[in-house]
Amino acid sequence: MRDVREYIFKVSVLGNGGVGKTSMVLQYTENKFKANYLMTIGSNFAIKMLRYDENTVCRLQIWDLAGQSSFAFVRPGFYQGSFATIYVFDITDRESFIDIENWVKEADQYVPNVPRVLVGNKLDLTDERVVSRSEGLALAEQLNARYYETSAKTGVNLEKLFTDLNNKLVELHVLNKKSSFQ
Ligand code: G3D
Ligand code: MG
């Protein structure tokens, strides 16, 4: 009988309200955009099963935090036990890009040494773009993060983002391979 091992990796999705965090998670885990969902109250999570190889199955537990500061009390529990942080900005909203720094500062208080991913979302809104790809790449380099540009509307690059991250987490925690994730 083959010995299949299962792992659970919690990852946290961060960024200003409106950048598309909930939409990304919904599109990736359920292939839906603009289904009936409510503004995230506090935090919620979705699970995606990923097969790394024939012996290794992972459940990616993707947590999505509401931006409202009134829910600040949920933050410690939200960050606790995260294996990675995903920072999302909206390429049509410069403020959301500038604010990434604050999200990094906050997350670093709880989970300082985990792989980071930076995401420029709403890639489909080409005409409204105000943050360039090179700016995104430069910030990612500064944060020692991997950079992706996605659209929660079309789904572009979401599969790649989460599969790459899951592979990285298996390498780090199952195979004990330490290397940078950029
Ligand atoms: P949040 O969870 O980060 O707060 P949401 O963001 O997922 O609630 O998305 C905020 C708004 O942006 C939603 O529109 C959503 O449909 C839209 N959105 C999210 N991702 C994308 C994207 O990739 N492309 C486009 N075009 N829109 C996106 P509403 O109108 O409901 O506020
Ligand atoms: Mg949300």
Please give the distance, rounded to the nearest whole angstrom, from the Cα atom of residue 150 to the centre of ligand 2.
Answer: 16
pLDDT in tens, 80-111: 999 999 999 999 999 999 999 999 999 999 99
List, in order of start, the domains of the chain with CATH numbers. Answer: 5-173 (3.40.50.300)
Burial pattern 15-42, b for ≥16 Cβ within 10 A else e, equals: bbeebbbbbbbbbbbeeeeeeeeeebee
d(CA 76, CA 173): 23
Q: Across the strands, what pairs with 12? A: 63, 85
* Distance (Å) from CA 122 to ligand 1 centroid: 8
Q: How far is the CA of 85 from the centre of ligand 1 (A)?
A: 20
Please tell me the pTM assigned to this model.
Answer: 0.94
Is the beta carbon of 82 within 6 A of some atom in ligand 1? Answer: no
| Separation between Cα atoms, residue 125 and residue 44, nearest integer Å | 27
Cβ 32 under 6 angstroms from ligand 1: no
Ligand nearest the Cα of residue 88 is 1
* Nearest residue (CA) to ligand 1, atom 32: 18
Which of 30-44, 66-80, 94-108, 144-158 shows the lowest per-residue confidence on average (mean pLDDT)? 30-44
CA distance between the termini of the chain: 38
* Closest C-alpha residue for ligand 1 atom 16: 34
Task: Give the confidence band of 162 by pLDDT, cuts at 50, 70, 90.
Answer: very high
Mean pLDDT over 55-72 rounds to 82
CA-based angle 76:80:83, to the nearest 5? Answer: 140
